[in-house]
Amino acid sequence: MTDDAVGLDDVVAAADRIRDHIHRTPVMTSAGLDRLSGASLFFKCENLQRTGVFKARGACNAVFGLPEEGIVNGVATHSSGNHAQALSYAARRREIEAIVVMPRDAPQCKKAAVIGYGGRIVECAPGNTSRERMLAQVVEESGAHVVHPYDDHRVIAGQGTCVLELLDQCVKLDAIIAPVGGGGLVSGACAVVAALSPEIAVYGAEPAQADDAHRSLRQGRIVRNENPGTIADGLRVNLMALTWRHVSRYVRDILLVEEAQIIRSMYLVWQRMKLVIEPSSAVPVAAVLAHRDRFRGKRVGIVLTGGNLDFDALPPSLPGGDG
Amino acid sequence: MTDDAVGLDDVVAAADRIRDHIHRTPVMTSAGLDRLSGASLFFKCENLQRTGVFKARGACNAVFGLPEEGIVNGVATHSSGNHAQALSYAARRREIEAIVVMPRDAPQCKKAAVIGYGGRIVECAPGNTSRERMLAQVVEESGAHVVHPYDDHRVIAGQGTCVLELLDQCVKLDAIIAPVGGGGLVSGACAVVAALSPEIAVYGAEPAQADDAHRSLRQGRIVRNENPGTIADGLRVNLMALTWRHVSRYVRDILLVEEAQIIRSMYLVWQRMKLVIEPSSAVPVAAVLAHRDRFRGKRVGIVLTGGNLDFDALPPSLPGGDG
């Protein structure tokens, strides 16, 4: 990696900075899923991470990397999902304020989670434009420091610590598959693997219903999702300039999976591994099952990114979950 | 423990015998559940055990403890639940046959699990009498060796290995809570704790809808459930002579919980710990939350016994899940 891409040094520094605030999550295996995939799978369990998702890593790195004079007015972001919780958590650990701009119609359970981590919610009308406008207004009034959910060096370096741990926990991986939404996690993976183990192929996995990274890689430029309809709510966002730089240079391929495969894979992990994962986490599992020929006999690291979901709105399980 | 009760030596021998066939499961903690309970909780994750349940321990101890001449005709049992899978698993590990008598109307998913572990199913009419009659017939025809799900020294000693590990993994526990169905697990816990750490109080936890152990302890004799209606399907059975001997002598108390508390506690563990547990496993969690005063400030070991359940028939989650 060159230019202003995130480097191994940044990730190592992040690991040191966030050590007291995150879990070193376990890597689990499953004889049943190995049989189904024909590969040896190593699951990095970020669903067991603080706040239930890997995003605690990037948020903590950004918040704890700020100089004293940068934090007096707190931090702010707009997010209706996991980054909002993660930033609220990181801010509370540093005893500063987190302000989260959330659409008025965001699920009550997500708002409750942010409040539970001590974040302050500022509501806005639904839609990206009004979110961004409200965040600008909040920043102007409060002087808070904005932490973007993924297109940010500090966040990418923080997410990379997850793959740094994985390489320490598993030897001789042939491939790593991470889900791709905005690309923060896979960018962090690229930074680590390029420097430490370039023989490992880094793959992104994406819902076919939100295939911006897949199309971007093929067209050689950032292409956006028009109206992503996927159940994997963490993956509806688009690559941006910084994450695209990492993805375009280093990711081997972006593997697509269908919605039914995502749902089946989610319940398969619940059933076989007894781990609650959210739909976004099931996307790389679905990818390794849908692309068996590519991974047969290989040692594959899979990041189970998170486990936050609403048990009142579960999709029906589908027949054929074992296949 | 005296007479023919299971002793520490039996449990230690079992641990040695089954070592290659079971997982040493992790102990997990949850800051959120500690806050809700006011205690320090240590969860022994037997839902991550092979076959998804602690019963692999007892079944393996029974099967691998049999002399060569005792195994030529395989093993048999009647069960519609976790013991059927566990015995099938143990038999396959020893390369002998397992015959499981199951009621014709048992859920398809349970039959599939037994077959998946290599067990052979013999169907019978629903009801205890026809189960027992069919098992007697199977044994007469096949010469198979019967392994009872809980009223068996070898099974109790095997289940006790779970608590032997827990004591090795957590220091200075004040109490251990295990769910009580037939009492195999709690009997094994008694054998270990009585010998190694008699200062630890062993509690059973039971659904109020299947409170045979609770009433037995109060009346000083085995009382049976008439028609247990609990969602905790692993706990509908009754104490028997051998397990009653352990429970009556050593268990501090049997704590009762309501159905709504079981369901809330199940989803609470799913949500906060990202662990799939079955309703029976939620019973001791519900107990520590429902009996806060008794456990406030204490260090409490809780056995999460298993994670096998049917995702097509989940109970609706209930409001007030946070305690």
Identify which of A235, A113, A285, A185 has the alpha carbon closest to the alpha carbon of residue B272: A113
Interchain CB distance below 8 Å, A275 and B276: yes
Same domain as A198, residue A130: no
Same domain as B164, residue B88: no
Which residue did the predictor score with more confidence, A68 or A317? Answer: A68
Interchain CB distance below 8 Å, B274 and A277: yes
Q: State the pLDDT confidence band at A323, using cuts at 50, 70 and 90.
A: very low
pTM of the predicted protein model: 0.94
Interchain CB distance below 8 Å, A274 and B270: no
Q: Looking at the predicted complex, does its ipTM rise above 0.90? A: yes
Close Cβ partners of B103 (under 8 Å, ≥ 6 residues apart): B80, B123, B124, B125, B126, B127, B130, B131
Same domain as B203, residue B238: yes
Query: Which value, in Å, is the radius of gyration of the alpha carbons in chain A?
Result: 18
User: Which of B146, B176, B211 finishes a domain?
Assistant: B146
- A32 to A43, A306, A315: CA distances (angstroms): 13, 21, 23
Structure confidence at residue B1 (pLDDT): 47
Instruction: Provide the residue range defining the domain that includes B124.
Output: 56-146
Structure confidence at residue A39 (pLDDT): 98
For residue A252, give how far its alpha carbon lies from the nearest alpha carbon of chain B (Å).
Answer: 31
Contact status of B280 with chain A (Cβ, < 8 Å):
no
User: Which of B94, B112, B146 finishes a domain?
Assistant: B146
Closest-CA residue of chain A to B53: A274
Q: What's the mean per-residue pLDDT of chain A?
A: 94
For residue A271, give how far its alpha carbon lies from the nearest alpha carbon of chain B (Å).
Answer: 7
What ranges in chain B are assigned the alpha helix state H?
A: 8-18, 31-37, 55-65, 82-94, 108-116, 128-142, 153-169, 184-196, 212-219, 241-250, 259-273, 279-290, 292-295
- State the angle between helix axes of A259-273 and A279-290 in degrees (0 to 180), rounded to the nearest 10: 100
Nearest to B311 among A48, A267, A307 (CB): A267
Give a yes or no: residue A2 inside a domain.
no
Which residue did the predictor score with more confidence, A112 or A204? Answer: A204
Close Cβ partners of A38 (under 8 Å, ≥ 6 residues apart): A292, A295, A296, A297
Give a yes or no: residue B48 inside a domain.
yes
Average pLDDT, 10 consecutive residues per value, chain B (323 residues): 83 98 97 97 98 97 95 91 95 97 84 93 87 93 95 97 98 97 97 98 97 97 88 91 97 98 97 97 98 97 95 77 40
List, for residues A22-43, the tens digit of each pLDDT value: 999 999 999 999 999 999 999 9
Structure confidence at residue A319 (pLDDT): 62
Give a yes or no: residue B73 inside a domain.
yes
Give a yes or no: residue A139 inside a domain.
yes
For residue A199, give how far its alpha carbon lies from the nearest alpha carbon of chain B (Å).
Answer: 32
Give a yes or no: residue A250 inside a domain.
yes
Structure confidence at residue B320 (pLDDT): 54
Interchain CB distance below 8 Å, B270 and A276: yes
- A142 to A108, A114, A135, A146, B289: CA distances (angstroms): 25, 19, 10, 11, 41
Same domain as A300, residue A285: yes
Give a yes or no: residue B1 inside a domain.
no
Contact status of A47 with chain B (Cβ, < 8 Å):
yes
CB A11 within 8 A of CB A161: yes
Mean pLDDT score, A128-147 = 92
Same domain as A195, residue A295: yes
Contact status of B275 with chain A (Cβ, < 8 Å):
yes
- Compute the distance between CA of residue A149 and CA of residue A129 in angstroms, rounded to an integer: 17
Percent of chain A exceeding pLDDT 70 equals: 97
- Compute the distance between CA of residue B177 and CA of residue A139 in angstroms, rounded to an integer: 50
Closest-CA residue of chain B to A278: B274
Interchain CB distance below 8 Å, B314 and A316: no
Contact status of A270 with chain B (Cβ, < 8 Å):
yes
User: Which of A127, A146, A165 finishes a domain?
Assistant: A146
Report the CATH number that the domain containing residue A130 is assigned in CATH. 3.40.50.1100
For residue B31, give how far its alpha carbon lies from the nearest alpha carbon of chain A (Å).
Answer: 10
Same domain as B292, residue B175: yes
Contact status of A277 with chain B (Cβ, < 8 Å):
yes
Number of domains in chain A: 2
Tokens representing B70?
């005792």
Residue type, B51: T
Identify which of B5, B308, B10 has the alpha carbon closest to the alpha carbon of residue B159: B10
Contacts of B82 in chain A (CB under 8 A): none
Mean pLDDT score, A129-148 = 93
Structure confidence at residue A126 (pLDDT): 81
Give a yes or no: residue B219 inside a domain.
yes
pLDDT reading at A320 higher than 70: no
